[in-house]
Structure 1
């Protein structure tokens, strides 16, 4: 049995003293520039609902809804800025046609942060992520640029998203050795359908002191139970139809719908919604700091926040884990196998405490 959480039951972000709510409010839905999302008034209701219940962790990015997400948040946070942990990102394309308006390099980093500060109407960013790994910029250029921003007080903490585990661990080691600002957060896609982060990214984050901030905990809506087998042969909807359905179609497979079916069964037994069960599974994962919820309406947000109250029995978790399990692959499977244990430790019993 697990205890009920609240948004003001705060968690530490990685190896920092920063306190964040156990569910982050994603602001990628603030604005309708991409053909879906929330108009200003509904976005304000989402923000107020979250904050009034004790939430303090807001996630956005410089290019979300073509900047509307930043500008709306800049308006909403005006009277309560210091009470919030505001996370944003850089490296995605800000200006088509400008070769330096994207990427992880120093010029784009500083230009992106200055734009974000202006649009968010704030003097500092609590947590800045490198949004997407670009395979081009030297690691020391990225780390030194981030550290300079921290020393200037424009950024307080730094993190990374959508990057290979070996590059992240290399960055953390270099930052430690040179006395630069360490990474404190790792943002990856992680949910009952997408668990491949368990192979390397999650163990790396635990070992290197990064807090885990999963995005898409509902797998683009697949885990809410809104799709069925008929959707397996559906064609993508046109961009701009006011929905995000086309984003989910790539994850509609027989395997994933089977996982969604078990989520629905557990939800029925617990008298909860499938979205609450799927979110709660990610929320209760021992290495997760705060999943990001991306509601479009106040009703969706209220339903998502109900995940804090989901109380799993061991049998429920076992069913969810079993239907969604993945093969860890080499070398993880062989290292966990009986043969390796026999040839390395024999019948020696070792108690490990960490």
Structure 2
């Protein structure tokens, strides 16, 4: 496993992170979830990503139990706040009240006294940004949060936060967690250039485009039983790529992966890691062998000719519109 700095901060993260959206506490049994976490640790993954809202807070509980007994200083635990975690009006958003209460709930569930990275899971248009950033800064000063980041924010929103932080002396954002893959490249136009300039790293999710880039979804055929496309919690998010024109082009990546000595999944993960602004790529898994296979993408260098061939194959079906930086609300 290779490691990179998280943006311009001193924090090192594993090139491949383990995330538990749609798996822990919902899609797979706890014993299987623990087996995947332990496989990740065995393969050198030290960065673990979750959120309070995943599986209605159960994902954090499962991750906390899976990491119990692991030397705390040897892992980086990242979680998020924004989406509703209860029925009340203040059980959501980025108000000071919800941030403080959500963080304390996350700490209890994760069985830790601090998180390495606390992220605003979306931008909150109903709360003054100054209030949000001051609450984050207070948590940093209390030692309960080491670094702060955001997820799925636009370049303008990130720029606003940086300006306020600089003016008010708050800790700056060090990371952004966007969707990024061979098929979804919308951050390249505006988000990445700003973040490169400001020292913000990307921790990208869905590098496999919800599994589409593994090649297991075939044009003209129904999704495999038990796949992400058949899971009610994630099927809405994957639908945009289940068109035959997309699936046909994805199948054309198979010989390119074979030529490079990689599986299609390894090729897709290695592709996002070629972007120097990417600090880490998040993978999920329902079986330990998936973890062991995907981590082999760490450290892989793809030559310019192969990168060009990938662009030629996928070009007509790639989404690049910066206006779509923020993913649909079906993915918390």
Task: Report the TM-score when normalising by structure 1.
Answer: 0.83
Q: Which residue of 1 aligns with 2:96?
A: 106
Deviations 1:129-157 (A, max 9, x none): 00012211111011111001101111110
Of the three residues 178, 188, 193, the one matched with 1:188 is 178
Q: Which residue of 1 aligns with 2:304?
A: 314
Q: Please identify, of 50-59 and 124-133, the stretch whose mean Cα deviation from structure 2 is larger.
A: 50-59
Q: Which residue of 1 aligns with 2:37?
A: 47
- The answer (yes or no) to whether the contact 2:153–2:176 under 8 Å persists in 1 is no
Alpha-carbon distance in structure 1 between the residues aligned to 2:45 and 2:284: 14
Of the three residues 180, 185, 188, the one matched with 1:198 is 188
Q: SS at 2:220's partner residue?
A: helix
Alpha-carbon distance in structure 2 between the residues aligned to 1:45 and 1:131: 27
Q: SS at 1:285's partner residue?
A: coil
Q: Which residue of 1 aligns with 2:54?
A: 64
Q: SS at 1:45's partner residue?
A: helix
Q: Please identify, of 295-304 and 309-318, the stretch whose mean Cα deviation from structure 2 is larger.
A: 309-318
- The runs of 5 or more residues in structure 1 that have no matched partner are 1-6, 331-354
Alpha-carbon distance in structure 2 between the residues aligned to 1:93 and 1:329: 28
Alpha-carbon offset, residue 273 of structure 1: 1.3
- The answer (yes or no) to whether the contact 1:143–1:180 under 8 Å persists in 2 is yes
Q: Which residue of 1 aligns with 2:109?
A: 119
2:82 pairs with 1:91 = yes
1:1-354 to structure 2, matched below 5 A, reads: 7=1, 9-33=2-26, 36=27, 38-79=28-69, 80-95=71-86, 97-231=87-221, 244-245=234-235, 247-308=237-298, 310-325=300-315
- The answer (yes or no) to whether the contact 1:259–1:320 under 8 Å persists in 2 is no
- The answer (yes or no) to whether the contact 1:232–1:252 under 8 Å persists in 2 is no
Deviations 1:327-349 (A, max 9, x none): 9779xxxxxxxxxxxxxxxxxxx
Q: Please identify, of 53-62 and 265-274, the stretch whose mean Cα deviation from structure 2 is larger.
A: 265-274
Alpha-carbon distance in structure 2 between the residues aligned to 1:319 and 1:149: 46
Distance 1:87 1:122, change over 3 A: same
Q: Please identify, of 272-281 and 71-80, the stretch whose mean Cα deviation from structure 2 is larger.
A: 71-80
Deviations 1:251-294 (A, max 9, x none): 22345324412322211222321111111101122221101001
Distance 1:168 1:241, change over 3 A: closer
Distance 1:198 1:157, change over 3 A: same
Distance 1:231 1:105, change over 3 A: farther
Distance 1:133 1:242, change over 3 A: closer
Q: SS at 1:289's partner residue?
A: strand
Question: How many residues are aligned here?
Answer: 317
Alpha-carbon offset, residue 225 of structure 1: 0.5
Distance 1:156 1:314, change over 3 A: same
